[in-house]
Amino acid sequence: MTTLSAVVADARSRLAAAGLPDATIEARILIGGVLGLTATDVFVRGDREIGGPELEKIAEAIGRRLKREPVHRILGEREFHGMVLKLSPETLEPRPDTEILVDAILPYVRQFVASRGEVRILDLGTGTGAILLALLKECPQATGVGTDLSEAALQTARENAARLGLAGRFETIRSNWLEEVTGRFDIVVSNPPYIRTGVIAALEPEVREFDPLRALDGGPDGLDCYRAIAAGAGEVLAPGGMVGVEIGYDQRDSVTTIFQAVGFVLHQALRDFGDKDRVLLFARAEPGH
């Protein structure tokens, strides 16, 4: 038998010795997650006794983190925009920067509802369903379709929708971007793969070894998926609709050029928490522009 505070201290020491920069935070999150404790519990219940099976589970989790498996992959879930989402090997971990895309597109979702009483959203490469499910959560009048090439990812997204009570407004389609998509949508959103093929090998092990390659690799220049989205978005976008995409920090100009070439105009650009370009919103160009 030992105590929670002793277990956290030991885990912090081991993670720090391995060179992990956020050892204190990660030790608390990991152990709290394994034990089903809140962050507050981990702080205030330091004298809680830990023994036998719980120690074994914690040891296994710490061992996985020392092999550079990300904390939330070990726990199997991650919070995003106030939701707890299940992860799977075929899905990216939703990151805080992607919440910027949700918050940027949300006013336009509400505008459609205010004018028409409903809004239809398409999420391309949905993964866990994070973006679309966040929008559905925030807007009860919204319905949406999430697409992905991975059936396993779509299954994860459907499970997340069910867990959140959103399954009735959430559909999935297995599709390579827009190839299998029909109908019209007021909002099209995507966080597509945008990393250049040649730099993937140099990424941190947490990303390179545990995120699905298909969700990272954007082709030789990192822009293949934007070309596919831009090429088909006009066919499915309803009049007055909006396209929102997450981008890499150095891709604003090149992605804007791709969309402008097929009749879109840049409506809004937003930066992330590190003050880097992260989200672009496009509208159809008005006649004469």
Distance in angstroms (rounded) separating the CA atoms of residues 215 and 192:
7
Domain identity same for 171 and 279 = yes
Domain identity same for 16 and 155 = no
Q: Which of 46, 75, 104 is the last residue of a domain?
A: 75
Taking only the tens place, the pLDDT of each residue in 99-122 is 999 999 999 999 999 999 999 999
What strands lie across the sheet with 277-284, from one edge to the other?
Answer: 170-174, 142-148, 119-124, 185-190, 237-246, 277-284, 264-271
Answer whether residue 279 is part of any domain.
yes
The DSSP code for 94 is: P
Answer whether residue 150 is part of any domain.
yes
Domain identity same for 244 and 270 = yes
- Is 177 annotated for ligand binding? yes
Domain identity same for 143 and 244 = yes
Answer whether residue 179 is part of any domain.
yes
Which residue, among 188, 187, 254, 175, has the nearest Cα to 219 in the 3D structure?
254
Distance in angstroms (rounded) separating the CA atoms of residues 78 and 140:
23
Answer whether residue 116 is part of any domain.
yes
Q: Which of 53, 75, 97 is the last residue of a domain?
A: 75
Domain identity same for 70 and 89 = no
- Is 148 annotated for ligand binding? yes
- Is 220 annotated for ligand binding? no
pLDDT above 70 coverage of the chain, percent: 99
Give 113's contacts (C-beta < 8 A, 6+ positions apart).
119, 139, 141, 142
Q: Which of 21, 50, 75 is the last residue of a domain?
A: 75
Q: Read off the CATH number of the domain in which 243 is found.
A: 3.40.50.150
pLDDT score, position 287 = 66
- Is 288 annotated for ligand binding? no
Q: Read off the CATH number of the domain in which 15 is found.
A: 1.10.8.10
Q: Looking at per-residue confidence, does 226 or 39 come out higher?
A: 226
DSSP 3-state percent helix, strand, coil across the chain (nearest 5) = 45, 20, 30
pLDDT category at 1 given cuts 50, 70, 90 is: confident
Q: Is pLDDT above 90 for 212?
A: yes
Domain identity same for 263 and 140 = yes
- Is 194 annotated for ligand binding? yes
pLDDT score, position 246 = 98
Distance in angstroms (rounded) separating the CA atoms of residues 93 and 102:
15
Give 161's contacts (C-beta < 8 A, 6+ positions apart).
129, 133, 167, 170
Of 175-179, 270-274, 285-289, the one with minimum mean pLDDT is 285-289
Tokens found for residue 110: 């509400």
pLDDT score, position 288 = 52
pLDDT category at 78 given cuts 50, 70, 90 is: very high
Taking only the tens place, the pLDDT of each residue in 3-36 is 999 999 999 999 999 999 999 999 999 999 999 9
Answer whether residue 221 is part of any domain.
yes
Averaged pLDDT, 147-175 = 98
β-strand pairing of 185-190 with 119-124: parallel
Q: How far is CA 46 from CA 7, 50, 93, 161, in A?
A: 9, 10, 30, 35
Domain identity same for 86 and 70 = no
Domain identity same for 151 and 235 = yes
Domain identity same for 231 and 155 = yes
Distance in angstroms (rounded) separating the CA atoms of residues 283 and 189:
12
Domain identity same for 45 and 158 = no
- Is 192 annotated for ligand binding? yes
Domain count for the chain = 2
Domain identity same for 68 and 85 = no
* Mean of pLDDT over the chain: 96
Strands (E), the chain: 2-3, 49-50, 77-80, 83-86, 119-124, 142-148, 170-174, 185-190, 237-246, 264-271, 277-284
Taking only the tens place, the pLDDT of each residue in 168-203 is 999 999 999 999 999 999 999 999 999 999 999 999
Q: Is pLDDT above 90 for 258?
A: yes
- Is 82 annotated for ligand binding? no
Q: Domain range holding 158?
A: 81-284
Domain identity same for 163 and 31 = no
Answer whether residue 289 is part of any domain.
no
Distance in angstroms (rounded) separating the CA atoms of residues 136 and 248:
25
Which residue, among 97, 29, 66, 16, has the nearest Cα to 205 in the 3D structure?
66
- Is 127 annotated for ligand binding? yes
- Is 226 annotated for ligand binding? no
